[in-house]
Amino acid sequence: MWVGYNNAGFLGSHRSIVLTCPLRTSFVSQWGRRELGCGHVSSSVKAVLLDESKEKIRLPKVDMWSVHKFGGTCVGTSERIKNVAEVIVNDGSDGKLVVVSAMSKVTDMMYDLIYKAQSRDDSYIAAADAVFEKHRLTATDLLDGEDLASFLAQLHDDVNNLKAMLHAIYIAGHATESFSDFIVGHGELWSAQMLSYVVRKSGLDCKWMDTREVLIVNPTSSNQVDPDFVESEKRLEEWFSRNPSIMGALLRARQVTIWTDVNGVYSADPRKVVFGANVLHPRTIIPVMRYDIPIMIRNIFNLASPGTMICQPSMNVSEDDQKLDSPVKGFATIDNVALVNVEGTGMAGVPGTASAIFSAVKDVGANVIMISQASSEHSVCFAVPEKEVKAVAEVLQSRFRQALDAGRLSQVAIVPNCSILAAVGQKMASTPGVSATLFNALAKASINVRAIAQGCSEYNITVVVKREDCIRALRAVHSRFYLSKTTIAMGIIGPGLIGGTLLDQLRDQAAVLKEEFNIDLRVMGITGSRGMLLSELGIDLSRWRELMKENDCTADSNVASCYYDWLRKGIHVITPNKKANSGPLDQYLKLRALQRQSYTHYFYEATVGAGLPIISTLRGLLETGDKILQIEGIFSGTLSYIFNNFIGTQSFSEVVAEAKQAGYTEPDPRDDLSGTDVARKVIILARESGLKLELSDIPVQSLVPEPLRASASAEAFMKQLPQFDQDMAKERQKAEDAGDVLRYVGVVDAVRQEGRVELRRYKKDHPFAQLSGSDNIIAFTTTRYKEQPLIVRGPGAGLNDRRRIFSDILRLASYLGAPS
């Protein structure tokens, strides 16, 4: 087994150590140009082991080699180191190469030593002792006898040497990069040494390799290195000549397994998508891609999890199956980003402007994460970490002072508090419409995109959004590309007839919505006039009626007045309640303005036409450039039922009683017969059409006899109503004599800027005369539909409000990212 150090990214995250099963390695530090440094190794060990083109190298000859990489949390304690050793021992491969990071938190402790020393803080000595003690205690728990004595002796020498170096840094008040790398890299050395001793205790042949003796790299810019394969291979051959226990040729590893503290590679950060870990450095992939070696991501704390395999698609996968896969494989986000925008008309066509900008940014050591430039060349926009934006702004202001003063550049603008969202997938390049789907999902979620970037390879689309919008944006696009379910947490206010049947529908449709539409609807709260039920995980809708009986608290009956605050706090509202949109005009205008400006949705289709698409039809007409002349309709299912059945010899009071018995009316039928409900619908449609009317502006013909409007109860009203049947019978007779029928309608006259509610007569061949049951009918007369009005007709009273609300819930889910 080998133990070795790895640090620039070929085998994983920053600053690691390598271990393999019949040989072992440690770490490498960079001295000068070629010796590998503590901060610059990751690729080299694996790259050497996997490079089969250099046939002269004589390496251990085995049939199967596997490579393992363990992160810092995997070796964070003595118990975890034992677990890692057990995983290594249980691997049945003939040869094993194992890479381990420093124990968790140790790298931070080592950097703290340097910071304290160069700050001339005498506590660096105590901090170094704490590092020693942490490893001494761990080793004492893991080792015994000669192994423990040998490790502690080496640890003691290492820490003493580090104290001497830290003292030099203390005197100088500064630490060079080489000194820092050398000091910090000891964390990997110690964890690898301890692990190698533990593996050896199991009886496994294990060799220690100090890769500083083997691996050579050439430093490049930006703290990166490139491995020198030829020289490293020579040194590797020399190392094996000094350790001749096993000889032969290593061709390639069969698999690389990276062990971490998550179950695999997620398609997005699970902490943001649901209510991943940094596993792979980009350079980790380069050598394994070259030889089609699979990478397995496993969770050391959950061995039962199969993990994630990163490899070429199987030859057995059909082309049709591959087409069914989402073209986007994952989403990445970067928080705490600021946008820098350099713009001015003097930039267009001037060579070297972009070079000067990024040269200045490089001078302050800032990392440019994303670049975006329009074809007009009028501006260059780029993103940098927020902690670096102040230095970037200052250097650009200084570098371009003359151009700014002369007006060739108009400004260097900073947009703080941003996040980057990137969609990634190889198949994005061959799939039309990926960008459209991405931006459609963001638009439906009311996400404003500040900047966009895409390379010509089309493997990545990057957008910049407000930091506060990042999680919502990620959830929207993640679910839109079928990578997760769209989860909607709901509260139901008013579990009466409509609310109760809606809850039953949600219960019955939950499984279908999850499986077919990727929507996870969870009712988190139900509140009525006498009780409230809450659940953090979602209420069991099969028992909601039973559970509601066990609760007793009072809910606010004036629900509509809460809409504004809810929307302002980011809570979407779906309602059949007409009071908010038909209340005082200034409050309505304030509510609609907030809806347009905020990132929340306010759906109220059910306020006018029960289950009919009246609001959406009206908006569709207006949005396509049509002009409303008049809207006329039978808006009350209750009154539609009453006048459809007010025929023959049946009295008006008998029809009302029949409607009440059938459940069409409110508990007090006067609420329907007064016409106020129809007037509210007229006001809503008038305001949607652009008219600024108050409810008091609408004349309403009430069907409640004047003497009965003050009746003490609904029962008293119904008992006295027959006394006034003659009045309605006379109206019916007049209509029949003229070949007409009676209908109770609401009218919006956009030309005269008015509305009204009244009992009207229509010819028997008129569409309004053709209704049956509780049907509603609405006629839109517009400049486009002037000769023949656009008619919308369908069921009115009953449970159709519930169906419309359910439809709005699905529409909201689509806006939030669910496939539509």
The catalytic residue positions are: 681
Environment class of 610 (CB within 10 Å of its CB; exposed 0-12, middle 13-18, buried 19+): buried
Matching residue, tokens 């000091």: 183
Give the torsion sign (CA, 710, 716, 721, 723). negative
3-class state of residue 65 by DSSP: strand
What SS3 state is found at 228?
coil
Per residue, what are the HEC states of 458-515?
Answer: CCEEEEEEEHHHHHHHHHHHHHHCCCCCEEEEEEEECCCHHHHHHHHHHHHHHHHHHH
CA nearest to 776, candidates 746, 811, 749, 802: 746
Q: Do 219 and 188 contact (CB within 8 A), yes or no?
A: no
Residue type, 644: N
Helix, strand or coil, per DSSP, at residue 366: coil
Distance CA 816, CA 351 (A): 44
**Of 17, 24, 138, the residue nearest 71 (C-alpha):** 17
Q: Residues 6 or more apart from 346 whose CB is under 8 A from it?
A: 403, 406, 407, 408, 409
Tokens of 121: 């803080």
Give the Cα separation of 446 and 476 in Å (integer). 10
State the pairing for strand pair 295-299/255-260. parallel
Cα separation of 11 and 2, whole Å?
A: 15
CA distance 396 to 124: 38
Using CB atoms within 10 Å of the CB of residue 770, give its burial: 0 to 12 exposed, 13 to 18 middle, 19+ buried. middle
Q: Residue-wise over 520-550: b if at least 16 C-beta within 10 A, else e?
A: bbbbbebbbeebbbeeeebbebeebeebbee
Question: What is the rounded CA–CA span in Å between residue 626 and residue 618?
Answer: 10
Name residue, tokens 């207006």.
622
Question: Beta strand pairing status for 573-574 and 602-603?
Answer: parallel
